[in-house]
Structure 1
Amino acid sequence: MSQDIQTKIEQLTAELNAYNYQYYVLANSAISDYDFDQKLKELEALESAYPQYRDPNSPTLKVGGDITSKFNTVQHKWPMLSLSNTYSEQELIEFDERVQKAIGHSVQYVCELKFDGLSISLTYENGKLTQAVTRGDGIQGDDVTNNVRTIRSIPHQLKSNLQYPEVFEIRGEIFMHKSAFLRLNKEREENGEQTYANPRNFASGTLKLQDSSEVAKRPLDCFLYFLYMENRNRTYQSHWESLSAVHEWGFPVSDNSKLCNSIQEVLDFVHYWDSARHQLTYDIDGIVIKVNDYAYQEELGFTAKSPRWATSYKFKAEQAETILEAVTYQIGRTGAVTPVANLAPVVLAGTTVKRASLHNANEIERLGLHQGDTVYVEKGGEIIPKVVGVNMEKRKPDALPIKYPDHCPECGTALVREEGEAVHYCLNEDGCEPQIVGKLQHFIGRKMMDIQGLGAETIVTFHKLNLLRQISDIYSLGDKRDELVTIERFGQKSIDNMVAGIELSKSKPFEKVLFALGIRHVGETVAKKLALHFKSLEQLKLASIEEIASVQDIGIRIAESVHHYLSLPEHLEELEKLQAAGLQFEVEEKTVLLASDSLAGKTFLISGVFATHSREDLTALIESHGGKMLSSISSKLNYLVAGDKMGPSKLTKAEKLKVPIISDEDLLNMINQ
């Protein structure tokens, strides 16, 4: 039973990470909003019940996706977190109940339309637009300032007679109106160019163009809906108040938002727009509900992925009927085989759909798919749909069932499906072309070795020309300039940039190298934990499965995978080549200088609102003097730093556990003493 649970968690984690990459990086997905959210909820429930199997790099903790390499990367001053989603009115009622329990009484909510576009954060200094950054992975995004300047509804300079902060950020959504989308798509079709599936993809693709003059030719629009500034609570008491202010400053703010005094008013708003949305000139896919009072927002706080003071209600997915023309199979870098339904083109929610993932053999069996079946497909928003059922009345009498292959469609190797596993694997990792190419592409990725000048398409080309067969071959490309210069559309400048990027990658820390190797089950967070614990590759190679599994958040499945990888002679030989090339296989120890150690060994939690300090200021102060921050009240907590409007549940729990409750002034005195 436990093996089945662990397998299911790993399967869902891999699927959701892949869908995140498709959505955030490629602006193109293979699953509907509804199905993604249902899978995410299923994974959250399993991880909650069986935390020992949670992947530290789980998509339940992930905000978004990766960053495109086309633009400069900028770190967000305030993280751009995503919202939790629900399709159930009962879950909205439960959200309200959780808020009331934490705050101690009912609260006001601001309801806003959930625009189907591209999230953006704008920075203004002295009233002038200085930077525009995409959401990216929530921590850092792409600097698209020049492109955003072409959007006419976004002011470049605010009027000087208005009362606005010296520096502030304002966030919103960039989108394209339906009429503009249809007109521009028609022009592309007439010119023989590839058309976009929907307005969101067109807006996303436009914003990522390198030439801002081309961006200016495409009519993008924007609604802004959230203000960030230092000490915001001292200027504005609520979200609704700040929305009114930014509207007065000249920003485009939707007229369709509403201040609600009860959850029933929220539900009435949801009911109205579920029908009225079709009358809008732009696409929306739901409603966003935010606690209005800023002090209550701070008190409710955040999870790792989303704020506890906001949620979104997604409208139900649409459904259509079409023909299953064929099932094909894709091989990933780990050897996982994913079946794909190839469909007769069908229009669904304004998008022409041709493909959908079938996930694994279990899904094909559950659906009972036969060749040429008439199937029901479903999706929310613009996402490529999922096959949700078969119209049995239209099945042909002689239709044969879809038979999952026994051998790899790419290399012919017999597929393996371990007991309890949902996924079939091709184990020919060194001879199966998609796996080889996938591992090479993974290695050069931004979160791995980040090799500039060597992209995914170039990897494919070099592999076909036999220049790259394994990872270590990347570090000998500089010795093959005479051969490289003969490759079509690969000039001297491109070669120089690539070689410089390869050389620069040698300085990447051990944790990045470990992640880049592509060891199964070793994501970014796991690689970091292993690197920090064992300090070097040599120590990791000497470790037993039990020693690896003893590292915090590293389960037995991950430990077995790492140990197996490091036991194979061909992998050890490859690692020796990489080490000889100059890659980092040891952790560089760094000394952290503290202002003092007056809070060393003490743990703190901050709650409420403070007159003279922000929570961020207090956190930085505690950590700079050796203290440690905790995320919740427990017996391990030494001090609760309490301000105004602290939630009653925290106060009750702290008193029950006899945790000392101190003020920000008490904290300063502790440091000074």
Structure 2
Amino acid sequence: MSKADTPSEPLRAEYDSLVESVRRYRFAYYNEDAPLISDAEFDQLFRRLEEIEALHPELVSNDSPTQEVGGEISAVFSPVQHLSQMYSLEDVFSLDELEAWVLKAQLSAEKLAGQRLVESPLRWLTELKIDGLAVNLLYRKGTLVRAATRGDGITGEDITHNVLTIKEIPRQLKGENLPEEVEIRGEVFIASKDFAELNEQMVAAGRAPFANPRNSAAGSLRQKDPAETAKRPLSMLVHGIGARQGFEVGGQSESYALLKEWGLPTSPYFKVFSGYSEILDFIAHYGEHRHDLLHEIDGIVVKIDDFATQRALGYTSRVPRWAVAYKYPPEEVNTKLLDIQVNVGRTGRVTPYGVMVPVKVAGSTVEMATLHNQDVVKAKGVLIGDTVVLRKAGDVIPEIVGPVVALRDGSEREFVMPSHCPACGTALAPAKEGDVDIRCPNSRSCPAQLRERVFHLAGRGAFDIEALGWEAAIALTQPAEPAEPPVQNEAQIFTLKAEDLAEVRIERQKRLKGEPSGELELVPYFYTKGTPKKPSEPTANTLKLFAELEKAKSQPLWRVLVALSIRHVGPTASRALATAFGSMEAIRAASEQELAEVDGVGPIIAQALIEWFSEDWHREIVEAWAAAGVRMADERDETVPRTLEGLTIVVTGSLQNYNRDQAKEAVISRGGKAAGSVSKKTDYVVAGENAGTKRDKAEQLGLKILDEEGFELLLRHGPAEDEAAGDEAVADETAEELGQDD
């Protein structure tokens, strides 16, 4: 090795620091079930360690973290040796890396096939990577004799008594000719629904919730008392076979079928593919639907299905050469909580939220996250200045899960909920005795509530005014001395004129050579900056705003109801009210009992409606909108048949001819109820492409499932009284389309 190739002192120092950090974080994760950093941050450290070792292999020792599997063995549980080693999986973090791994595996397999050692072509078993705790079950003659954690891969912890509390794991396998001895590998986890309920119970009891399902499951399995483990909603899915004696199978997918026959819980989420493009489709599908699943996942595992090829390719000291884990972008990271502030919502609810060091999670940069109310802040145990776990799942609002207590240095401080509204100074109080939330009662004049209501009425679920975004709502409603804001009440929204906005200014950073300077200046928001040669005029977006306001006047009644910001009245209740009464006048005239009897409304929403319309200034909004030409009644299209009266329909997955809103409108306009979840009360489930768990639940409940063609027939003809009527309807439809006579 040349002198130039010798690692520098700074690089050696970085390497030593990485080794120490990885060991520390791994011990906290595996042995203490209390991670100090997020999985994504650990992955970055581990990859950097691998990079340095790849460049300077002379640094690698047998006790390097890259040569080890899992964690150390706890002294609390008895150590047990696995009959065959349990390995980790090689991780890849991009599709390019995955493609490179697949090509490498194919080349290796083709070489072996040329030597007649394995069969070709390859088949790829592709499955979800469960975010749980790896467990090894040892069965002898069909009887469970031992359960152990993975540990360091060679030696694990005996957790047999705790595992026996998991109802899915059989003590005795089913069937005849059971193997003399077999190790079954799988993952113990807490289902997403069960985890949410468990955390709700923790918060209700005044205790800090668990940070994530994986560590909650691991901690549950490591309880000294099995009775405590039994209280936790643990589940298990098996996905592999270790040592075996007395039987043989040809491949991974074949072994899954056998495990299921024996009565072991296997995953429904796997497919066997022959091509790489199919693997990519699988990854894309579950990347979009990962939160519709039974359990949390952090990636996809790709395995060569054939056992002979697996054996021929073999293992490194840590990972198999025939399997890889593709990791989705992280949805959980750690960051610093700089402050906790409060926001006043459109109905006056005061909500604490965290202000954090900006961090990238789930594909977007996040610097604020909700904390719901003061009780949740207390239950989560977060202090200002904490390092916190931040979770963002897809389009879901970012959530602060909890603090990393081990990283506190004493400088942290508690959050104190304000006693007065930060926007208008009004004393805060619960809306009624027993409410957890506190509210600003100054709903008419509070500038924060007005701003939120204006922003809300422009939203997609209401008037859908694209040009009226968050910043525009601020500009319209913020007090600006000496002039009053253009909108002092949402009644004024549809009477605005362009000249009313000419003097509106907002603060923006000055820019020097295209870069923000940090210095603020007041600039026109709705008009251009005037010059001696070109006077100020409405911007293109302002002209678009007025065009969209005019268009919004013709929106259906249910959207107008949503736009009014009546507490508890969202799109579902608004649709039900519009369908039942047909006009704003009829809704206002209805009694509380009449409102409550509407399917999808009920007593709480009925009471909220009566209370809202009892306020003079609320009625003024409705009257002002009506005077400006906003549609206040739906004209029922008598040509649309009421074929779905009394029926509940759930539409799931992608349809070719309908988006989500169009499918709902099609059901509701025909008298049906468009539900969002499947239950025993559901009459039909319409399943498009990638229907996911709603279709699965419908099958379990034995409900009628329709494809898109069946949905359209149902819309036209309604439910057939019997199969013959249904067949006749289909036949008539077909004949009509073909232009045939009877």
Higher relative contact order (CA 8 A, sep 6+): 1
Q: Considering only CA atoms, is the larger Rg found in Structure 1 or Structure 2?
A: 2
**TM-score, normalised via structure 1 length:** 0.49
TM normalised by structure 2 equals 0.44
